[in-house]
Structure formats: C-alpha cells, structure tokens
Structure 1
Amino acid sequence: MTYTLDITPESAGWAHSSLRVLTLPPSGTHTFETAGSEWIVLPLTGGCTVRTEGRTFELHGRPSPFTAVTDFAYVPRDAHVTLTSPAGGRFALAGARCERRLPARYGPAETVPVELRGTGVCSRQVNNFAAADTFECDRLIAVEVLTPGGNWSSYPPHKHDEHLPGRESRLEEIYYFEIAESPGGTPGLGYQRVSPSHDGGTDVLAEVRTGDAVLIPDGWHGPSIAAPGHDMYYLNVMAGPGPEREWLISDHPDHTWIRGTWPDHPVDPRLPLYHPGEDR
C-alpha cells in the first residue's frame, strides 16, 4: 500500500515529527510497525477498524473534515498495527518519535474539545483532539483547524521554540491541507506564510491545495489564508525533544497587538462549522 503523503524525520531533515496519509479501497487493509514512534490514526474520510496490542478499535470516522469531528485511535511505539476499512476511506497517521510506551487507546469524537479562536476575519475553529493539555501522548501534539473562506488563521504569526539560558527547545511542525470545493465543484486554494528562522532569510508564501503539506522546522509562521468561497482545513502535527510536552507558542512581537482588537468584533457566525458528535 502506497501513502499519498509520507513525511518522515529522515525525509523532513529533522528528528521527531511524522505524517502519513493513507487511502484504502473498500475492504482494504494496511499493516505497519510503529517502531520508535507513537501514532494517532485519524480518519479524514470514512471509518476503519484498528487492531493493535490485542485490542480492537472501531472508528466511525466522518464523511469529510468539513462535516464532523472524528473519533481516533492512539497506538504506542514498538507495536504492530492493522487497519481495515470496509467502505474505504482516507486516513491520517500522525506520528512522533518518543521514549515512553503508553497504552493503546480510543478517542471518542464527543470528548474532543472544540475551540473557537479569534474573532472577525481571524475567526477559526480548532478541534483539540490531541492538544498538549487534552490527550496524553509522550511527544505528539496534533490539532485540526477549520478556517471559513476569506478568513485568516495561524494569526498573529507565531513560533513554537524557546531559547532560554540552559534550555533550548523547538517543535517541528507539519501543516497538512485540504480545501473545500465551491458549490459548483471548483477546486479551492489557500496560502501559507513562513518567515525565516535566521536573519537574512526570505519569507515564503506558498499556494496550497488539497493534499499539500508545509514543513516548519522552526521560526515564525502564519497566517494561513483561506480564499473566499473555499473553507480551509489543516491538520497540525508537531513534536520536539522536550523536556516537557508543551506548545512553546509565542506571537511575533510586530503583530501580537491584533489580539487586542478581537473583543471589538464578534466571532464569525459561520462557526462552528459543526459540533462534536454532529454529522452534516
């Protein structure tokens, strides 16, 4: 079975974060070894059965990332995993190299915290299924973000690294994108900005479409911009060396003032796109 996306620490040129996107046909099966990484199996479309460590997890899944919060399964390092999908589907495998071997677990959709972040044109929905403070992992942090067409998210620009005396830590981050089609079926697009991590670098503004990924080893990044008429979904996968599993988030000092304007505006009335346990 071939992954439609396969980002490993080796291919990314870093040490921790991984992401695979797997498409299974009806009755399709895929097996993999977790090796030295912990993984979360996250349905993008469709559902599947996950078998590992003598346990079986039935994932209901969802029609698409734009219609529902999904359930998911956590599988530990040094394990054998089998995925089977009776009706077929697409599945994200979010991974991080880790030290601790935690138990395999099921994550129900109805327990996923859904956060509305920002206001006005900065409004977005965050499904915190494996945020640092919502679901236990050793190193992996992963969330889903949904941005209505025309809005900006990952804004203000920010970074996930810390440079203090005696403490150097950074998170390696993957953005995986899917863009909703227009009512007439026209494919959508969006944009992702990444700033240099060192003086003298060049800003990058990348056009992104469904299936694209942007790698951020360190430094400032954002905004993520959804084109008008096309809602944007992205899956954030990140991990780092520690010593603690935490966001390490800080705003770019030139742009953090924007947060002070949010109380003057309402949250975009299109949000939330859906609630936990709700299929549209």
Structure 2
Amino acid sequence: MTTQNETVFPRGALARGEWESVVDDGIDGWQHTGLRVAELAAGGELALPAAGVERLVVPLSGSFTVRHQGSGDLEPGQHDTTQLEGRPSVFDGPTDVLYLSTGASATIEGEGRVAVAEAPTEEVRPSRHIRREEVPVELRGAGRSSRQVHNFGTPQALDAGRFIVCEVVTPAENWSSWPPHKHDELQPGRESRLEEIYYFETAVERGREAPPEADPFGFVRAYSSPAGEIDVLAEVRTGDVALLPHGWHGPCVAAPGYDLYYLNVMAGPDPERVWHISDDPAHGWIRGTWEGQDVDPRLPYERRA
C-alpha cells in the first residue's frame, strides 16, 4: 500500500546530475514512462545519450536548439538541428515540441526550463518537429471545470511508439482531472492500462497583481481502485512531480488567485496506444451538468504580446 502522498515528490527530490528531476525505471516499480526536467542558464547544455526510449522535448519557458542524430532517417555521423521557438511560460499557450526517435541522441542548448518526456520502446518512428500552430488545443469541461489542453503528444497529433503526452492549464479556482477517473485495467474499447506522470507549475492568476511574497499552489488527489491502493492529497507547486501507477485520480485544483499547469506523460503495457478511461461511478454524473454551461471566458490562454 502507498501511504499518503508518498508518490508526490517536491521540486528537486528526484534530482540527478544536471537534471532537476528524473523519473525512470530507477524508481521502484516504475516501468513504462519517464521524465526529465531541467533549468538551463545561458550557454548551458544538456546531453541526451542514445537509449532505447522515445522522447518528446517540451520547452516550458525559453527557447532551445536541439542537435540530434541517429534518428533512423539520417546517415551515420550526420546530425540534424531543430530550433524550438518555445514560449515565455507554460501559461502562454502551446509550444512547439520535438519528437526524438527511439535510439536518437541529442544535445539541448538554450536558456529556460525544459522537460523531456520518455517511454521505453523498441518501436522506431521518425523524429518530428511539431510546430506551435499544429498543436491541437482543446477547451475541456465548462464553468468551474473548464481547462485548456494542448494535445501535442496524443495519437491524433503524433505518430509515436508507446507514450501519450499532453499538458493542461487550469485557471485559478477551477478543477481539472475531473470527474475522477482511472486507466489501470484492460477493458478493450473501454479502459486502457497507463501509468501516469504529472509535472506541475503554478503562477499568480493571469492578469492579477500580487505581492512578492505570494506563494502559488494547487492540489492533486488520487485514491485506491481495485488495481491497487494509493492515497494522495497534496499541495503542489512549480517543479513538483506526482507518480500515479494506478487508482482513481482527480481533481487537480487551482487555488483562488493561482493558475495551475501540469504536463502528463502516460504509457502502459497494452498493445494499443490509446487513452481510454473509466469515471468513478460516484462522480461521473457531473459531466452531464456541463451541458448548457459556457467554457470559462478566461480561456483560451494564448501567447501574450
């Protein structure tokens, strides 16, 4: 049994070398997904050695140059260079991203914060730069359950081997990952098995002035399902990571005055790369209450001038 909040890691608790956070199979019981997060100062660089994983490079803030090779579509010794335009912050709309093929190596240069989603796989797909204007932007829910989803690493947008990657922006006072749902049992066409990583960032609500001592935060909740026991009810802030191997999860709540962001990385053992979920029967009815409600007028969050 996981005791309360033991799968939530404060910023820096998963540090390894030059990386602020690293999630991989070095964590007991973790098998299908990975994540790396780092902050680069001007002139710095990060190395991604060739490995049996596919990767998605996601600028959180700032812009980056990625030199990569061994992608299956290049001759030995050749390398490609991709400029990632990035964005000022995760609350400035979608970013362009770079998918790196299984077995590719890369070097990331630039200034800002960057995340790298990973999944072990032997499947080889071509590396691809997905530009910001190509990213499907979804406004999900309604009213106080409104949130903005950037689906740059989902099956509809990206030909990948194993993982499903997206990011969610939840405006202050709103709930996301709601109603609670799970994906830990194989029911073909109804539910898939996917372990999940949440990486969080928080900020003062867009357009609001706040004193320097403001402390942006949100909450995440997860609880036991027949697949396993878990108990999470935790405050989260920028840089925190939650690992959800199973269980019902939701809501993620943005506190009044503070916006909430999270990057999701999902993958599992099923043969099909698909996100099928089951709602908690106690709360699934809430979806029906969104009918006739407008999406929160603060959305979409787009790049500020």
* Shift of residue 169, structure 1, vs aligned partner: 5.2
Residue number in structure 2 paired with 1:232: 260
Q: Distance in 2 between matches of 1:268 and 1:133?
A: 25
Residues 1:220 and 2:220 aligned together = no
CA 1:15/1:150 → structure 2, altered by over 3 Å: closer, same or farther? same
TM value normalised by structure 2: 0.85
Q: 1:272 corresponds to which residue? A: 300
1:148 partnered with 2:171: yes
* 1:133 lines up with 2:149 in the alignment: no
Cα 1:113–1:9 change in 2 (3 A) is same
Q: Which runs of 5+ in 2 are unaligned?
A: 1-16, 70-78
One-letter amino acid matched to 2:258: H
Change (3 A) 1:34 1:140: farther
Matched, 1:100 2:157: no
The corresponding residue for 2:233 is 205
Q: CA RMSD in A?
A: 1.9
Partner residue, 2:92: 67
Alpha carbons 1:174, 1:238 under 8 Å: kept: yes
1:83–1:196 distance in 2 versus 1, CA, 3 Å = same
Contact (CA 8 Å) 1:4, 1:22: kept in 2 or not?
A: yes
Indicate the residue corresponding to 2:14 in structure 1.
Answer: none
Q: Is the Cα contact below 8 Å between 1:12 and 1:215 reproduced in 2?
A: no
- How many Å apart are 1:78 and its aligned residue? 1.6
Q: Distance in 1 between matches of 2:49 and 2:192?
A: 28
Equivalence for 1:37: 53
Instruction: Report the residue type matching 2:219 in the other structure.
Output: Y
For residue 189 of structure 1, the aligned residue among 213, 217, 224 is 217
Cα displacement string for residues 76-110 of structure 1 (whole angstroms, at most 9, x for unaligned residues) = 1222111111xx11100000111211111111000
- Give the structure 1 partner of residue 193 of structure 2: 170
Mark the runs of 5 or more structure 1 residues left unpaired by the alignment: none
Aligned-partner Cα distance in 1 for 2:103–2:230: 40
Residue 76 in structure 1 maps to residue 92 in structure 2 = no
| Cα offsets for 1:240-265 (capped at 9, x unmatched) | 12201000212111111001110132
Change (3 A) 1:52 1:221: same
Instruction: Tell me the amino acid that sits aligned with residue 10 of structure 1.
Output: G
CA distance in 1, matches of 2:29, 2:126: 29
Q: 1:46 and 2:62 equivalent?
A: yes
Equivalent residue, structure 2, for 1:14? 30
Match of 1:123 in 2: 146
Query: Structure 1 stretch 181-190 or stretch 121-130: which is displaced more?
Result: 181-190
- For residue 178 of structure 1, report the CA deviation from its aligned partner: 0.3
Which residue identity is paired with 2:96? D
* Deviates further, 41-50 or 180-189: 180-189
Structure 1 range deviating more: 144-153 or 8-17: 8-17
**260-269 or 107-116: which moved more?**
260-269
Counterpart of 1:211 in 2: which secondary structure? coil
After superposing the two structures, state which structure 1 stretch, 61-70 or 167-176, moved more.
Answer: 167-176
> Which residue type is aligned with residue 116 of structure 2?
L
TM-score after normalising by structure 1: 0.93
